[in-house]
Structure 1
Amino acid sequence: MDLTPGKIFLADQRGITESNILRRYSTFNFEKYNDEHRQPSGTLFVCNDETIAAGKLIFFLSKEDSYQIFFPVTGGLDIVQGGKEFSVDTGQIQILNVGKGEVLEISNPYPNDVINYIQIGITTDLFLLRASEMLYNFDFDKNQNQLIEIISNPQKLSFKLSAGIFAGREEVTYKLQNTDYKLFCFVIDGAFEI
């Protein structure tokens, strides 16, 4: 097996933004966080782990034409784009086509609980799908210790997305379809080896 050099972005080296409304950990440079070693990776330019306080909202200003991917970890979230509202719950991923300069309103619909979600941004110059076609469902309970292929349509999107929950010392093999492709792994919790 050929080994490919990689780069590890350690969790404790992420940029942090914190207020009474939001706690954001940024893997790459984002808003006021800037580090020469945290440049975007190809078309992947946003990878944030965000927590919003109960009943609060934040705004996201897109710096690029992009797909913005929302992956709830704890609780659901509401997103308003151009007057249209999208509700996304755990077990779902919502992708939105977002133009450069466009603003999204992201809110916590729960009056007493915080929410946590992952936001991923991938640059694109093609907007081929409506947002209603880009809500994906998955079930970790039915697919323990394996990668679930959530997004796998490279004809319509320029990327694939898989996710999984693994018990200690479980393994999975992921094979890239093309040597020109890149693999980005994000571990929410626990130790890992790649």
Structure 2
Amino acid sequence: MIVQHPAQLFLGHKRACDQSEQYRCLSVPLQNNKKLKKVVRLSDETLAPRAFKSFTAEEDISLILIPLVGSITYGSNSANEVCVFPEELQIINLKKGNTFRITNKNEDALVNYLQIWVKMDLVPEKIIFDTYSHNQLNIVYGKKHVNILFGVFDGRREGFFTTSEQKNTLLTFVINGAFEVQNRLLESRDSLILSQTRLLELEALSENAIVLILEENN
């Protein structure tokens, strides 16, 4: 018998869009969910060549930056610039009211990256995960309150992940391709929030299917 766990699906093409000539932000409307308590922002952002975008932290958060295409540079008044590349994630602590900016220093190429805000006091650090294993879910960041998993799959290959506790909440974001996740179809840039799930099962439905999963420990 197929067990359907409590879930909320966000389609990629229906995300809120903030766009100018230099910048585009497609945000998953996490404020409309009742399961995630600590993850408050997941935005899929694109910057034009030599462009930058400034931000202000709306509360005390840890910022997680994950470049997908091209490198980005993080900068603020209180810290030196940090360059982050694909297959890396950068964690930065911010207090309410802190300002920062993200810059694309490339001369002729767009950059695409994920910006994640979590209401947790994570240790500032850079994680390099370029040695991940193919066709499986890899824990690229694992701490007491949050785990981040990353996987690149060939078509029809399956992946599994057992949560720390059944009460934890999972946020799945498809970076590329398509997956079946817990019997639900997710296509590129779709998101799925799952709760009360002990075992996560997924199957890639396309070649070079790429997925990112956040586990929030409740």
TM-score by length of 2: 0.76
Q: How far off its partner does 1:4 sit?
A: 2.2
How much identity, in percent, do the aligned residues show?
A: 27
Does 2:69 align with 1:74? yes
Q: How far off its partner does 1:118 sit?
A: 0.7
Q: Secondary structure at the match of 1:184?
A: strand
Match of 1:92 in 2: 88
Aligned mates of 2:71, 2:35 — CA distance in 1: 27
Match of 1:122 in 2: 118
- Kept in 2, the 8 Å contact 1:27–1:38? The answer is no
Q: How many matched pairs? A: 179
Match of 2:163 in 1: 176
Letter in 1 for 2:13: D
> 1:91-137: CA deviations, max 9, x gaps?
1100111111111111001011110001111112x35x2x3xx1000
Aligned mates of 2:154, 2:55 — CA distance in 1: 34
- Kept in 2, the 8 Å contact 1:50–1:117? The answer is yes
Match of 1:51 in 2: 46
Pairing partner for 1:167 from 154, 158, 172 = 154
Q: How far off its partner does 1:150 sit?
A: 0.7
Match of 1:189 in 2: 176
Q: How far off its partner does 1:71 sit?
A: 0.4
Aligned mates of 2:113, 2:35 — CA distance in 1: 20
Match of 1:23 in 2: 24
Match of 1:6 in 2: 7
Letter in 2 for 1:192: F
Tell me: CA distance 1:179–1:40, structure 2 relative to 1, closer, same or farther (3 Å): closer
Q: Which runs of 5+ in 1 are unaligned?
A: 30-35
> 1:31-57: CA deviations, max 9, x gaps?
xxxxx8467832111100000000111
Does 2:127 align with 1:136? yes
The root-mean-square deviation of aligned C-alpha atoms, in Å, is 2.0
Q: Secondary structure at the match of 1:85?
A: strand
Aligned mates of 1:49, 1:28 — CA distance in 2: 12
Aligned mates of 2:79, 2:166 — CA distance in 1: 41
Match of 1:145 in 2: 135
TM-score by length of 1: 0.85
The answer to which structure has the higher strand fraction is: 2
- Kept in 1, the 8 Å contact 2:136–2:160? The answer is no
Aligned mates of 1:98, 1:54 — CA distance in 2: 26
Q: Secondary structure at the match of 1:4?
A: coil
Q: How far off its partner does 1:2 sit?
A: 5.8
Q: Which runs of 5+ in 2 are unaligned?
A: 182-218
Pairing partner for 1:102 from 63, 77, 98 = 98
Q: Secondary structure at the match of 1:12?
A: helix
Letter in 2 for 1:97: N
Q: How far off its partner does 1:144 sit?
A: 1.3
> 1:134-160: CA deviations, max 9, x gaps?
1000126x5211112111132xxx201
Of structures 1 and 2, the one with the larger relative CO (CA 8 A, separation 6+) is 2
- Kept in 2, the 8 Å contact 1:28–1:39? The answer is no
